[in-house]
Amino acid sequence: MTITLSPRSPSDSKLALHKAIVEDIPAIKEMVDAAYSKYIERIGKPPAPMTEDWDHVLQTYEVLVLRDNERIVGSITCHQDEQTNSLKIDNVVVDPTAQGRGYGYYMINHAEAEAQNQRLPSVTLFTNVKMFENIGFYAKLGFMETDRRMEDGFERVYFCKKLS
């Protein structure tokens, strides 16, 4: 897979995306809390990833961690969604101290490649309507908005990207 990291990325950057293990959970939780805490005031409560039972998630879904020179800088959680016949991204997060370097794009690009490997026609995901930065980011990556609805007490925006 080819990736173009931003100019702010170290030239000696060594990326590795691996299946998360139980020992990665504290780092994932810390990263999720750091990345999502800024949304608590906007939403009025902690975003869903902050209250997730990550032990259960690790047992239920595909959770990958992205390391740059051995440091965990991101994580993506996804699974095959039979209802939409897609690879559904349940969560993608980048450590706030590492944002703006192409790591989110890298993980989503991996999910797209994985969907194609599984012969799935699309990748789907959602975000909170009050996380407007994400809405623009996903649109920039070619995702199309498909729905907005209340779910689990959150107002969510749903996206789909058809794959060729």
Q: Output the pLDDT for position 12.
A: 56
Q: Regarding beta strands 86-94 and 122-128, do their DSSP bridges make them parallel or antiparallel, or are they unpaired?
A: parallel
For 10-61, give the secondary structure using H, E and C. CCCCCEEEEECCHHHHHHHHHHHHHHHHHHHHHHCCCCHHHHCCHHHHHHHC
Higher-confidence residue of 60 and 9: namely: 60
| Domains with residue ranges and CATH for the chain | 15-162 (3.40.630.30)
What's the pLDDT tens digit per position in 100-114? 999 999 999 999 999
- pLDDT band, very low/low/confident/very high, at 164 (cuts 50, 70, 90): confident
Q: Output the pLDDT for position 7.
A: 40
What's the pLDDT tens digit per position in 117-151? 999 999 999 999 999 999 999 999 999 999 999 99
